[in-house]
Structure 1
Amino acid sequence: MTTPTRPLAGLKVVELGSLIAGPFAARIMGEFGAEVIKIESPDGGDPLRKWRKLYEGTSLWWYLQSRNKKSVTANLKHPDGLEVVRRLVAEADIVVENFRPGVLEKLGLGWETLSALNPGLVMLRLSGFGQSGPMAQQPGFGAIGESMGGLRYVTGFPDRPPVKTGISIGDSIAALWGVIGTLMALRHKEMNGGKGQVVDVALYEAVFAMMESLVPEFDVFGFVRERTGNIMPGITPSNTHTTRDGRHITIGANGDAIFRRLMLAMGRSDLADDPTLADNAGRDARRDELYALIDAWVAGHDEADALAALAAAEVPASRIFSVTDMFADPQFLAREMLQSVKLPDGRDCRMPGVVPKLSATPGRCEWVGPALGEHTDAVLQTIGYDAAAIAALRRDGAI
């Protein structure tokens, strides 16, 4: 059986980034066929190599985040190392970078220089605050973007300080916007004579763009959205409830017909037929009453029984999944969302499958994150360096 060509096959990406936002964007491109050449410092490489849980000295997150990438070492403090990067960029379609604005310019790798070298280049620039404005050159990680962009203010319970989500969601959101913008820039390039452009993604703006009706509600009504725990005021009922056996399930019954089915499943035909609860506005006006009733019903059932009753009534509901639940869940397995790969020592390791699912040209993992500089020689040979020149670069500390 012939393996289908992936949709980004033929594109060359040079990744000048580290940790999360830039590398996550490049990972997605690599999963769908782009050749991703990750530039790393020969002195240790991307710090992500040593973040969180290590297996045989290397982060398991690294193996996931850098799958399908080629690692090339280049010392950006050495003129010959910079020349290696320039020669790679000259043949690239995309550069992904998440340095603080101004850093690449000081190195002679800014947009003006690289676009003159390669007029068709699309440059994805991810940073805390974007390439312009009074905060542009300040450092900013995903946590800062989540805080400034409004996400942390509304996350948590009203009687407690704001909390973060359990992952680096701000970086990941920025990466997704970055991929979207890059694909749009490539489309523009196709339609307008092959001219590239900059895709400028600020972490705080990436988060801010996800904040639903936060801005118009304040502008029109002066309403400030606050922390509300697991409920969403104005959308009722949608909440998390605790079962008799101490498990937690989420029920989303805010559709009119779904709410009626939930009430019937709970044995409350009176509420199912109550005209004041027939639409969301009426339900939200009686939010506390309804949540108390649902809390009590769920608390009277074990998790399995509650979920079975809700499934039979076609009411959207789910347990709060831990990773243990995911590894045993038929839906995860059927959708190949737990993909088995080989670590460098041959050990089997499961990683998340590729998203989204394309019917004709699906993405895939071909190899896990590489060893530092694993592909340096092979890649440099493609841009005109012979074995002697590569040995000299390595001897001089340029790669």
Structure 2
Amino acid sequence: MKLLEGVRVLDISTVIAAPFAAGLMADFGAEVIKIEMPEGGDPFRRLGPYHGGQALRFACMGRNKKSVTLDLRTEKGKEIFLQLVEKSDVVIENFRTGTLDKWGIGYAKMKERKPDIILSHVTGYGQTGPYKNIPGFGTPATAFSGMTYITGYPDRPPVSPSFSLTDYIAGLYTAMGTMMALYHRDALHGKGQEIDVSLYEGVFRFMEILCADYDKNGIIRERRPKLNGTSSPGGTYKTKDEKWVVLVCSTDRTWEYLTTAMHREDLLADPLYVTMRDRVKNDSSLDKIVSDWIGSKDYLELKAIVDAAGVPVNLVYSIEDIFADPHYQVRNDIVEMPHPVLGSIKMPGITPVFSETPGEIKWVGPELGEHNQEVYGKLLEYNESYLGELKKEGVI
């Protein structure tokens, strides 16, 4: 039995954050029915990169989901959607705030058909507040969260993440919030509820250091390529053979391990570096000592030394490094799945790992409307004649 077997999710969202949340639930056995517009479907199906004209990303984002087509803007489409709500546990959506209510299929209408339904909203700025109606996208939301401001070098423009980090973080919060709502409903009080997830708040939740420092010390953290003054030594360093590595010593114990690895136990007694506060204060001189030592070693030599000593150091991995690493392979972090057009495609595996109820990738992102017959014919018991009528009218 799968962890979420028996849970049915209607995914009426598009692109990244909310579909990612639904996909996480699908990985662990939830039946996720992805509802898409009849013409074109989710825009994510057409986003690059491409191989031979085939968009690659939907294979992973749509995995384990059933795709049906349905135009929610039509009266018949709205009624069909509400019939699906009656048979479901969760709806996940990311339309602009108020859109479902405008269409007449908002949460109040859903509850009329399924009183304990759970509805998870994902928007740029949430369901309340002066910015609730502003369209939300990951990169602007990252800037709004405060993360972009502190990322990069002080003499260069702020740096945005090179992929949709904020969207994926919001997806994690959505999946977590949805699961907590399911627990509250099924194990505690029997009631459904709405979950309000914004793109920016998931990242802002990580900013407790910035909040506390500004609140109590009036400090506005600025961009720097190191660890923002919270621990020392630490940062990105280049080895003798020009490999980039990352080191962090965020505890006194790891600092002791590093001095042992460097054969510089004398530094432990140096008044400049005795405590973490001392080391942060004198980070520049300590950074020079560590940088010179790392720069005197080839990467493989360095890695052997620091691993034996218990010092957290890692090569800055490219995707090529990841594909070649045996740890990724043993952990099944990269899986290869059959694909109807590409033959096969590799994608990230399932995390976290459960000992009794592991997740499973059953299929890659389906073709648009691939499961119309199964969902409408079996779940809603529509006959072939009615399905043909709906298709002719453009409802599905």
TM beyond 0.5: yes
Distance 1:339 1:238 in 2: 33
> Is 1:36 the counterpart of 2:46 in the alignment?
no
Query: Deviation at 1:89?
Result: 1.2
Give the 5 Å matches for 1:147-226: 147-226=143-222
> Is 1:384 the counterpart of 2:384 in the alignment?
no
**Could you tell me which amino acid in structure 2 is paired with residue 22 of structure 1?**
A
Query: Deviation at 1:186?
Result: 0.9
CA contact (8 A) 1:75 1:397 kept: yes
Residue 122 of structure 1: aligned partner: 118
CA contact (8 A) 2:221 2:228 kept: no
Distance 2:81 2:67 in 1: 13
CA contact (8 A) 2:233 2:290 kept: no
Three-state SS of the structure 2 residue aligned to 1:88 is helix
Q: Which of 390, 394, 398 is equivalent to 2:391?
A: 394
Distance 1:390 1:210 in 2: 48
**Could you tell me which amino acid in structure 2 is paired with residue 252 of structure 1?**
V
> Is 1:247 the counterpart of 2:240 in the alignment?
no
Three-state SS of the structure 2 residue aligned to 1:365 is coil
> Is 1:319 the counterpart of 2:324 in the alignment?
no
Three-state SS of the structure 2 residue aligned to 1:112 is helix
Q: Which of 100, 105, 116 is equivalent to 1:104?
A: 100
Query: Deviation at 1:103?
Result: 1.2
> Is 1:89 the counterpart of 2:90 in the alignment?
no
Distance 1:308 1:191 in 2: 50
TM-score (norm: length of structure 1): 0.96
Distance 2:53 2:114 in 1: 38
CA contact (8 A) 1:14 1:37 kept: yes
> Is 1:20 the counterpart of 2:12 in the alignment?
no
Query: Deviation at 1:293?
Result: 1.0
> Is 1:363 the counterpart of 2:359 in the alignment?
yes
Residue 230 of structure 1: aligned partner: 226
> Is 1:280 the counterpart of 2:276 in the alignment?
yes
**Could you tell me which amino acid in structure 1 is paired with residue 21 of structure 2?**
A
Q: Deviations over 1:272-311 (max 9, x none)?
A: 3435523311211111111111111111122111112211
Three-state SS of the structure 1 residue aligned to 2:197 is strand
Three-state SS of the structure 1 residue aligned to 2:34 is strand
**Could you tell me which amino acid in structure 2 is paired with residue 51 of structure 1?**
L
What number of residue pairs does the alignment pair up?
A: 395
Q: Deviations over 1:117-136 (max 9, x none)?
A: 11111101000111111111
Q: Deviations over 1:153-191 (max 9, x none)?
A: 111111111111121011111111111111111111124
Distance 2:188 2:336 in 1: 42
CA contact (8 A) 2:34 2:67 kept: yes
Three-state SS of the structure 1 residue aligned to 2:235 is strand
Alignment gaps of 5+ in structure 1: none
CA contact (8 A) 2:272 2:282 kept: no
CA contact (8 A) 2:336 2:344 kept: yes
CA contact (8 A) 1:50 1:57 kept: no
Query: Deviation at 1:54?
Result: 2.1
Q: Deviations over 1:232-268 (max 9, x none)?
A: 3121122110112221001122321221221222232
Three-state SS of the structure 2 residue aligned to 1:277 is coil
Three-state SS of the structure 2 residue aligned to 1:397 is coil
Query: Deviation at 1:270?
Result: 1.4
**Could you tell me which amino acid in structure 2 is paired with residue 72 of structure 1?**
V
Alignment gaps of 5+ in structure 2: none
**Could you tell me which amino acid in structure 2 is paired with residue 175 of structure 1?**
G
> Is 1:264 the counterpart of 2:248 in the alignment?
no
CA contact (8 A) 2:231 2:249 kept: no
Three-state SS of the structure 2 residue aligned to 1:389 is helix
TM-score (norm: length of structure 2): 0.97
Query: Deviation at 1:7?
Result: 1.1
Query: Deviation at 1:346?
Result: 6.6
Q: Deviations over 1:357-392 (max 9, x none)?
A: 111111111000000110011100111211111111
